[in-house]
Every structure is written in structure tokens, then in C-alpha cells.
Amino acid sequence: MAEISCANCGEDTELLGERTGPNNENITVTCQVCGLVWDRDFTPRCETCGETNVYPAFKAILDKSRGTQLSIQSMKLVHLCPHCQPELHATYSQTNTPIPPDELPVETDD
């Protein structure tokens, strides 16, 4: 989930969101510290450079299904930046297979 903070005072916890628009498609955010009101922007952006020309991709969420066998349990929508992640972007564009997780599940001592 994207981090949201007030552009005026930097507050990130005392924010109030209200759905607006004919079909409740917008969220109007009010900062309860300084009173700034703005419409939340849902445009996907690169977390590193802020680029809006990003490519939607799926990242696998793995878990152990039996013994040590790893299985995809679900997928998370991420956005790949062609500038900050050129290799990953190119690979996903060619293969269209889920991106592996950053870390694999580990054994826990129960």
C-alpha cells in the first residue's frame, strides 16, 4: 500500500479519508493537523524515481505447501519502472511469469 502524507505539514497518521464522486471513485483526504484537503492520486508511480510510465506486473507470494515444497499462494500487483528496474522489466515483458519474492519462506522452530 502506498504511503500517504500531508504535502503541507508531513503528517501521515492524522489523516481522514472520505469517498466522493458520483460512484464513490475518489477519496478526498483531510489532514486533521493543518486542515489541508486534497484528492488522493491513484496513479501508479515508481517508488524510487516517481516515474508514472510504469508496467503492471505480478510478484509471487510463496509458502511451503508440503514439507519443503514451495508453492505460489497468491500474487501481489507491483509496478515495474523501465528506468530503475530495466532488467526485471525486460524479463517480465518477455516471459510474463510472476516475479519471484525478495525472500523465500524460512523454516521456523516450533
| Amino acid occupying residue 19 | R
Domain spans of the chain, in order of start: 1-42, 44-110
Q: Extract the C-alpha cell encoding 46.
A: 515508481
Query: Cβ–Cβ contacts within 10 Å for residue 92, how many?
Result: 20
Element (H, E) at 15: strand 15-20
Which fold is adopted by the domain 1-42? N-terminal domain of TfIIb (2.20.25)
Please write the tens of the pLDDT for every residue from 49-93: 989 999 999 999 888 877 778 888 899 999 999 999 999 989 998
Query: Cβ–Cβ contacts within 10 Å for residue 20, how many?
Result: 11
Compute the distance between CA of residue 26 and CA of residue 38 in angstroms, rounded to an integer: 10
This prediction has a pTM of 0.61
